[in-house]
Amino acid sequence: MVFCTPSSAQVTRPNTTARLGITGLPREGVRNFLGCSNGIKSMNANHRYYLGFNRVAGIGPTRLRRLIEICGSVQAAWQANAAAMIAAGLDARSSRALLTAQRTLDLDAELLRVERAGVHLLCIEDEAYPRLVAEAPAAPPVLYVRGELKAQDDWAVAIVGTRSPTSYGKEATYRIAYDLAASGVVVVSGLALGVDTIAHQAALEAGGRTIAVLGSGIDRIYPERNRRLGEQIVAQGALISDYPLGTAPAPLNFPPRNRIISALTLATLVIEAGGESGALITVGFALDQGREVFAVPGSIFSRTSVGTHQLIRDGATLARGADDILAELDLQRANVQRATRDTLPDDPVEAAVLSLLRFDPQTIDDLGIVAGLPAAQIAATLAMLELKGLARQAGAFEYVRK
């Protein structure tokens, strides 16, 4: 049965399905096939469809992935008929919303609106889409970006906590964020009042990079009093959102955005959080994504430390300062690793091996079998990737992606 009826100009893009978790060509082969953009300012042909889907209520990453799997490409998925929607598991409300959008949404006008707002789109098949986010479960199909994302953003730590920190919490946040940024680590947070704001400000004052993930449209900086801070972050990092332009900062938006905060980073640090703090939601996402979790201890008499102490009791790593985090994540050489990666030329073998690495350990022999390369060449390539800070030895002849 024919479910999807794309135009004759349609080009099937396997990378869409690969980055959404659907089996297909190896990542590097897919990218070469697609000729995807290397810069976040350029648009590829599929941005329009991802932008369209992002304005359809009820179709998130999982449903979109299934619809693309049924139809073969995101363009064909946008043109899906009712039978394809049923096969993809869309409920009646989501199907009606997509059918309505197909008839009424002007994708060219939507793209123009984004461009006029000074916003860059990154869809999940783009080369410039954040690597760590792409590997996380239910990665957002499209991100709206103001500012610039760089390769060094792979070395990032999220800092989250209460909106009403104590004097101790304020000082701990500032000192740790400043020291991390001064060491070349990118600080990621949510631009909220309290711990988030202090973390962003400290990173900027250290001359480092910081990224803020919004729970609103990227053109609706919230809270309003942080508008100036948001603009400073654009100049020295980036603002990111997966919500369409114009989306108001509703309470229900913030828990889902926390998954992006944790996904962008190698670890999440919690500084002062009550027992019901939203920061603990970020921790839950971090654990689901296989990230490290750190917590700063506080007074046993302080309600703002109930959540952090619970995390430490449950196995989070106690952080007394930035040095503890840098040591645990092996980031003391972050600046050296980044410089090494930037100065060494791109190598197709390195790219192929890196695309095969995961967060669970794989042996040199297994990687060699999949890559079709001798073990000695795999070992030498892994050594170079480790020097660049892209891989880590997890055991005897076993490696993971870093």
The rounded Cα 15 to chain-centroid distance in angstroms is 17
Residue 368, C-beta contacts closer than 8 angstroms, at least 6 positions apart = 374, 375, 377, 378
Residue 394, pLDDT score: 77
Q: Which two tokens stand for residue 270?
A: 């919690």
User: For 268, phi and psi rounded to 5 degrees?
Assistant: -115, 130
Measured distance CA(341)–CA(339) in Å, rounded:
5
Domain boundaries, the chain: 14-116, 151-328, 344-401
Residue 332, C-beta contacts closer than 8 angstroms, at least 6 positions apart = 183, 326
Q: Which residue is it, tokens 């869309």?
A: 90
Using an 8 Å Cβ cutoff, are 297 and 318 in contact? Answer: yes
Pairing outcome for strands 237-241 and 210-213: parallel
Pairing outcome for strands 267-271 and 142-147: unpaired
b vs e for 235-271, b when ≥16 Cβ sit within 10 Å of the residue's Cβ? ebbbbbbbbbbebebeeebbebbbbbbbbbbbbbbbb
Count CB atoms within 10 A of the CB of residue 117: 15
- For the chain, helix (H) and strand (E) counts, in that order, are 20, 12
Residue 374, C-beta contacts closer than 8 angstroms, at least 6 positions apart = 368
Which 3 state secondary structure label does DSSP give 124?
coil
Using an 8 Å Cβ cutoff, are 18 and 51 in contact? Answer: no
Q: Could you tell me where the beta strands, DSSP code E, fall in 243-347?
A: 267-271, 292-296, 317-318
pLDDT average per 10 residues of sequence, the chain (402 residues): 46 38 34 30 77 94 94 95 93 95 94 94 94 93 96 95 95 96 96 98 97 97 96 97 96 94 97 92 95 96 95 96 93 61 67 82 91 92 85 83 73
User: For 279, phi and psi rounded to 5 degrees?
Assistant: -60, -30
Range 344-401 classified under CATH 1.10.10.10: yes
CATH of 151-328, one of 3.40.50.2300, 3.40.50.450, 3.40.1360.10, 3.40.50.980: 3.40.50.450
Q: Is the pTM of this model over 0.85?
A: no
The rounded Cα 191 to chain-centroid distance in angstroms is 16
Q: DSSP label at 194?
A: T
Using an 8 Å Cβ cutoff, are 54 and 242 in contact? Answer: yes
Residue 37, pLDDT score: 29
Q: Which two tokens stand for residue 116?
A: 């006029």
Q: What value, to the nearest 5°, has the Cα angle with vertex 218 and ends 186 and 227?
A: 75
- Write the DSSP assignment of 74-90 as a string of letters: HHHHHTB-HHHHHHTT-
pLDDT digit string, tens, across residues 128-180: 999 999 999 999 999 999 999 998 999 999 999 999 999 999 999 999 999 99
Comparing CA positions, the residue from 193, 198, 177 lying closest to residue 225 is: 193
Torsion of CA 138, 144, 149, 151, to 10 degrees: 30
Measured distance CA(244)–CA(323) in Å, rounded:
38
pLDDT digit string, tens, across residues 245-299: 999 999 999 999 999 999 999 999 999 999 889 999 999 999 999 999 999 999 9
Measured distance CA(19)–CA(64) in Å, rounded:
12
